[in-house]
Structure 1
């Protein structure tokens, strides 16, 4: 796969996001609907020949399973198709920071933030389990925190119907599905896997958020699975003294060796987590929001190589103009945003005037795309910065007029008129 390749006669690949043992994930654009997407490929040639049929069935099942989960905590599925020898799945492109990176940066999270993230995961699990789906591979690498603080559960790639017959058909021969550091004992043994296995994995994730490390450590996968099976259940207060006793007890129950000794449902766990959330969070807001700096550092925000000359910058601008002429406004804005992110103001080929011009163009493109809320924020931010520049008042006022137009488009006339009534 290469940047610029067209998939399914409508998706253009832009940059790679990640790679697994049997496939790749690319960021791309849906040219027909002018929106960014994630495109996940199953590279059939990289799958052992005797497993290709099973892998293909699991891949298609992933698409159908994820598409059935109509929940804000699950990326939306847009399309499924074939490209050459490969299957591909088109999904919502999720911006944000992977929980594993967030924990690594913070070393450990506050009690309230960890409880908030776990409660949001529980909300997704309630919907999944109600649809007879088990994720089977919950881990910090599969949890994304968006810039707005919403937790997204990624990769239902090993999800299976709860019935044992279906589970056996989806399980690759000789393989245990899941990740050793977060795998439930019954899953490690290759036994029947139900919703309780997801709760065990959630307990492992919650333990890591609070302590900075998974509940068990080992040098290889077999030893790790033996730890889950036979090692004493760790007690979080022995690693961190400020964890409330009730939360420590809940975590201990989530990590019980026997599924029968764990909480009965994700809904029950969510209710038990509620007392530990901040007040705003208990009303539906998220504590510990991932800021824009962290969001820009994630795989979904990989920058393009910075332009090294005015000629390269002109080429990128020409690309954006061509996209605009084709009414691909979001894609054109993304080209300019990646240029802006890649070269800080005052360095390289971008001077202050060029930065201002790029920001104005991005805001205008967002407005043309109908993303009036983001366009308004972009115009308002540029106007505030121009207020601090001599001789830029006319441009600042024009940005405010455009912001007003965006607010009027959103039906927020009363709020929109106010900033002009005090001038």
Structure 2
């Protein structure tokens, strides 16, 4: 662990811890080389971790670097066990106070996802924690981060239901079973995120990892308008399609999903 005031790689001065994951810690740091700027410094918890941890970090850097998209995180530099990226001072999308602002943020992310899908990349870990906001949300909006599990379209990722517990509430069936991924994979995860941002909880919940996995694989999406008076029944219809178990049965794009929901909740 680094502490405030520590110097990392000779150029970064650590200011504070801003996040921790299972395999890494993210710090706010000051880059002392021109152009001097505040960055988010991600460091593997043990820089001598197995090769797959470094491979994930390398993938995260390479994919984000290739996107050059305003709503995809900008990465700056990387090395063995670390990378730097833009510092998003606004925090996760869940900190936005109103549903209209949350919908606006998710609409921006939907556009970014459709863009990366057009380049045959699938994010594979869309969730609220991976959607961060700029300090001035109205000027700069939201940004998609963490491409460490990104895959190419139609690639078959190794099943990860037992490994990425934090992502289970947003994981589509094909990701849990090791099926081929596509833009529809991210659409399902975005739909789960959307439900949470509108209602306060993701569509599928369970007390155990096994129960949540079973729900994602087999359960029908809940009819949330029956529980929440102000939600129109059309919301249920749209979410049922976006959360279809078969990828081919979902909407053609993430933008289409967000446009429908935004219109429904605005009327």
Contact 1:16–1:25 (CA under 8 A) maintained in structure 2: yes
* Structure 1 partner of 2:11: 10
Contact 1:176–1:187 (CA under 8 A) maintained in structure 2: no
Contact 2:160–2:176 (CA under 8 A) maintained in structure 1: no
SS state at 2:4 partner: coil
What TM-score comes out, normalization by structure 2 length? 0.87
Distance 2:200 2:164 in 1: 26
Unaligned runs of 5+ in 2: none
Unaligned runs of 5+ in 1: 279-423
Classify 1:173/1:214 alpha carbon distance in 2 versus 1 (closer, same or farther; 3 Å). Answer: closer
Classify 1:253/1:163 alpha carbon distance in 2 versus 1 (closer, same or farther; 3 Å). Answer: closer
Distance 2:171 2:240 in 1: 15
Give RMSD over aligned pairs.
2.6
Distance 1:173 1:251 in 2: 23
* Structure 1 partner of 2:255: 267
* Structure 1 partner of 2:148: 157
Q: State the shift of 1:45 in Å.
A: 5.3
Distance 1:243 1:143 in 2: 24
Contact 1:54–1:172 (CA under 8 A) maintained in structure 2: no
Contact 1:23–1:43 (CA under 8 A) maintained in structure 2: yes
Classify 1:136/1:217 alpha carbon distance in 2 versus 1 (closer, same or farther; 3 Å). Answer: same
Q: State the shift of 1:176 in Å.
A: 5.9
* Residues 201-350 of structure 1 aligned to structure 2 (within 5 Å): 201-273=189-261, 275=263
1:42 aligns with 2:44: yes
* Structure 2 partner of 1:91: 85
Range with greater deviation from structure 2 (129-138 or 33-42): 129-138
Q: State the shift of 1:272 in Å.
A: 3.0
Counterpart of 1:193 (choices 161, 164, 181) is 181
1:182 aligns with 2:176: no
Number of equivalent positions: 262
Distance 1:151 1:277 in 2: 20
Distance 1:88 1:13 in 2: 13
Q: State the shift of 1:75 in Å.
A: 1.9
Classify 1:201/1:195 alpha carbon distance in 2 versus 1 (closer, same or farther; 3 Å). Answer: same
SS state at 2:103 partner: helix
